[in-house]
Amino acid sequence: MNAKVKRIFLPLLVIAVLGYLLGWSSLLEVRTIEVTGIEGARTLTEKRVIKASGIRVGDKLARVSTGSVARALGKYPEIARVEINRKPLHAVEIGVTLRSIDVAIATTKGRFLLGDSTGVTFVEVSKAPRGIPVITGDRRFLKDGLDIYYSLPKKIKTRVDTIALPSSGSIAFSLRGGLTILWGSATDLEAKLTVLAALLEAPENKRARFIDIATPLTPTVR
């Protein structure tokens, strides 16, 4: 075999061997499946994740698709993100990122749906966890309520106990300590934030129990 033929043939041979090892040989097949990131999960177990992922012992490592696994696990709303990590020579790690628990949405049956900051819910419980706002009312206005809530100054946001959504024009926040803020609609956000800050800073409002900024040009405090 002359030098020119070797230069052409050897790379092709290497590619063919690698292709065989990756796609067909048992030397690089899945023998161990690990799941990480589900500590504290409310709807998931390691066994459930592995079964739903579609990955099986004996599958070829090279054929494990992150996209297909993510789609398969998409039926569990508690999962925010999935990553696949192949570990030589025979292990696959399914890395799960859980949705955070940021809100509790009250149901008509006296229970609560736990959800993340975008309002995606993933589990129903009988009691809302402490320290997160409870949302009541019409879920059609959930996005408006959350948009307003996450725009609030931290010192106000951390005190919010309840977000009431009776209608699109009468969104209200009940704060720990006894203050209720009638926000109204989601319009005029910046103006309402400015007015609210000024009202809260005013010494005469330190003991206020109700602030109405639904119409920011004519707020009411009592």
**What is the C-alpha separation between 222 and 217, in angstroms, rounded?**
16
User: In terms of domains, do 91 and 109 share one?
Assistant: no
Quick one: what percent of the chain has pLDDT higher than 70? 88
**What is the C-alpha separation between 127 and 160, in angstroms, rounded?**
17
Lookup: tokens for 127? 């009691």
Which residue, of 41, 66, 98, is where some domain finishes? 98
pLDDT per residue as tens digits for the range 130-187: 999 999 999 999 999 999 999 999 999 999 999 999 998 899 999 999 999 999 999 9
User: In terms of domains, do 134 and 93 share one?
Assistant: no
pTM of the model: 0.81
Query: Is position 66 within any domain?
Result: yes
Which residue, of 79, 98, 117, is where some domain finishes? 98
Domain harbouring 169, CATH code: 3.40.50.11690
Contact 132, 102 (CB under 8 A): yes
Strand 32-36 vs strand 91-98: parallel, antiparallel, or unpaired?
parallel
User: In terms of domains, do 35 and 128 share one?
Assistant: no
Lookup: tokens for 199? 């009202």
Per the structure, the count of domains in the chain is: 2
pLDDT per residue as tens digits for the range 191-219: 999 999 999 999 999 999 999 999 999 99
Lookup: tokens for 114? 């736990």
Q: Which of 142, 46, 121 is CA-nearest to residue 77?
A: 121
User: In terms of domains, do 165 and 73 share one?
Assistant: no
pLDDT per residue as tens digits for the range 37-78: 999 999 999 999 999 999 999 998 888 988 999 999 999 999
Provide the domain limits for residue 44. 29-98
